[in-house]
Copies of this chain bind each other. A is one copy, B any other.
Amino acid sequence: MLLSKLCSLRTKEIPADAKMKSHQLMIRAGYMKQVANGIYTLTTLGQRACLKIENIIRKEMNSIDGQEVKFPVVMPREMWDLSGRYTSIGNEMVRFEDRSGHKMLLGMTHEEASVHLAKNWISSYTQLPFMIYQIQTKFRDEPRSRGGLIRVREFTMKDAYSFHENMDDLNKYYTKVHDAYMNIYKKIGLKNYISVKSDTGMMGGSVAHEFMSINDLGEDEIIICDCGYKSNQEVAESIFDKIVNETPNGEIEEIFTDEAKTIEEVCSKINCDIKHTIKAVAYAVKGENTIVLAFVRGDREINEAKLKKVTKKDIAPFSAENDDRLCAGTIGPINLDTSNDIIVVYDESLKDTINMIGGANKPKYHLKNICTSRDLPNVEYYDLAKVQEGDTCSVCKTNKLKIVHGIEIGNIFQLGTKYTKSMDMRVKSQEGTEFNPIMGCYGIGVGRNLACVIEDNHDDYGIIMPKEIAPFKVHICALRLDDENVNKIAYELYNSLEDFGFETLFDDRNVSAGNKFSDADLIGIPFRIVVSPKSLENNIVEIKDRATGEIYKVSPNDVLTKIVELYHFKDFNFEI
């Protein structure tokens, strides 16, 4: 590929909103171009890297007996009515009517399609287990796309679905997929990634893991313990200090708190410890008039994922200011009128607490001396709070927990029979009875993984592409192509490398050496070959390793051999 003809541009300009290095570098090096909010065209550079990631994924999936299929992007409503997701999924799913008025949707995930494919065709336990997967375009109408390819609306995803006779079999296969995913991340060149327990969200099911690329700018919080415990914040558990051995000060009393509304204002006003306060957090239930009120100790935060699970409601943060059922700023558990569609839940941090301060449910007043077991006698407590850095690990019960940030680079779910039941897929058992197969599902986004690889592999000068997924294997910089010898040697090298199967980017432009070098560093092809009049005087060309900076000086005749050696040829697949 001649660089002069590459449909791409290197630039110093970066979009104002590009905070992540991968976003900046993929724009600056011309790996992609934005088309609309959360929608990109991948250029020759970006798409070639993605194709290589896809092939690495494909090989790992095939190695665990995955069968590649292709489900449609556009599906009819009826299929999704069976699982109930046509209505349960919000407007992140695109719905439209076709020319005959039939309701259609753009598939965000393909559980329904996979059961549709397997149903009626798979009729006996002897045909289980099997796994089908596809690598296909998906569109999810994300409310806040960001970070370049990190969170987009349209993306290429490998999604896989497995079918099993029993939980044992699913568990065995689930572990296989887990390992295959870890292989994929290693092969594509990620450096710092872990798998953590996670929430099953809209997929249904029980056990789930997310794979996380550790990154300070990641949106996910990951709880880590030296003992080996790892979990997404959404489902993390911990042990934290309780207030014990305290004596009740007496009965509940009203105290005037004037304009103090937030926990911090109240603590400052009446000079009390935040751990002695009861915080109220209000949520609206989507599509209902209901309010969910969660009470939690003042120093803890509500975990929405846990709250959704406990209340089984699709909730969103809500300002009490806008609703006269609540007295914003002084909401408390005592004397609270819950007759008007208000659901109240309590976090475990409030269990058996003594001498607490909470809102009085009337303006400018709070209550003190609340003892939860005495004053809220019939209350159930749930784990609704986020884990905090410094909490004690609930597994080893010794270490302090740490929190790091991560970007989700894959997820795996044990789905159970949610879809095979609702879509009535039945299979004959060895005993001749019928059962609904147990499913697992497994997803990995191609573009986001590319972005994370670049997060892990770059320096001040640009991208450092791992050998396995580099869009080109070699980058030739010919300095002074008007020099007859340079011209001859450079084209000879280009042709011999290409003929051998090394995809080569050849900078044939009439620009300065500095310009060529900075473009090569920015694009980040693993090896750069410089052909210049000066070095050719000594019958030498320079090969520079982009990652290590190491320079090899070899005669033009030895370049191919050296590149073969540097690529450990035998380990490599040279197909795109």
Contacts and interface: CB of A to CB of B under 8 A. Distances in A.
A12 to B, nearest CB: 14
Contacts of A76: 35-36, 39
Contact of A40 (B72, B79, B122): B72
30 contacts: A1-B65, A4-B126, A5-B128, A5-B130, A7-B117, A7-B121, A7-B122, A35-B72, A35-B75, A35-B113, A36-B76, A36-B102, A39-B74, A41-B69, A41-B70, A41-B116, A44-B68, A44-B132, A46-B70, A47-B134, A48-B68, A62-B576, A68-B576, A74-B94, A74-B106, A74-B153, A74-B154, A96-B96, A98-B153, A136-B137
A5 B117 contact: no
Contacts of A51: 68
Contacts of A121: 7-9, 30, 33
A289 B36 CA distance: 37
Contacts of A128: 5
A343 interface: no
A453 B96 CA distance: 34
A29 interface: no
A122 B575 CA distance: 28
A425 to B, nearest CB: 12
Contacts of A102: 36-37
Contacts of A118: 7
Contact of A35 (B41, B94, B116): B116
A83 interface: no
Give the one of A68, A74, A154 with max B CB within 10 A: A74
A424 interface: no
A141 interface: yes
Nearest to A122: B7
Contacts of A71: 35, 41
A444 to B, nearest CB: 17
Interface of A: 1, 4-9, 30, 33, 35-37, 39-44, 46-48, 50-51, 58, 62, 65, 67-76, 79, 91-92, 94-96, 98-99, 102, 104, 106, 113, 116-118, 120-122, 126-130, 132, 134, 136-137, 139, 141, 143, 153-154, 156, 509, 573, 575-576
Given A35-B79, A116-B33, A70 B156 contact: yes
Contacts of A116: 33, 35, 41
A519 to B, nearest CB: 14
List of 6 A-B pairs having minimum Cβ-Cβ separation, nearest first:
A44-B67, A9-B121, A96-B96, A42-B70, A36-B76, A5-B130
Q: Tell me if A's interface is mostly helix, strand, loop or mixed.
A: mixed
Given A99-B141, A136-B137, A141-B98, A47 B70 contact: yes
A71 B32 CA distance: 10
A99 B46 CA distance: 28
A114 to B, nearest CB: 9
Nearest to A141: B99
Nearest to A65: B5
Contact of A39 (B8, B75, B141): B75
B72 A1 contact: no
Given A30-B121, A74-B39, A75-B39, A4 B127 contact: yes
Contacts of A153: 74, 98
Nearest to A117: B41
A77 to B, nearest CB: 10
B127 A5 contact: yes
A139 B73 contact: yes
A46 B117 CA distance: 13
B143 A99 contact: yes
Nearest to A143: B99
A7 B134 CA distance: 13
Contacts of A74: 39, 94, 106, 139, 153-154
Given A47-B68, A91-B99, A136-B137, A117 B33 contact: yes
Contacts of A117: 7, 33, 41, 43
A58 to B, nearest CB: 7
A143 to B, nearest CB: 7
A40 B117 CA distance: 10
A558 to B, nearest CB: 27
A40 B134 CA distance: 14
Nearest to A58: B576
B92 A7 contact: no
Contacts of A132: 7, 44
Contacts of A68: 44, 47-48, 51, 576
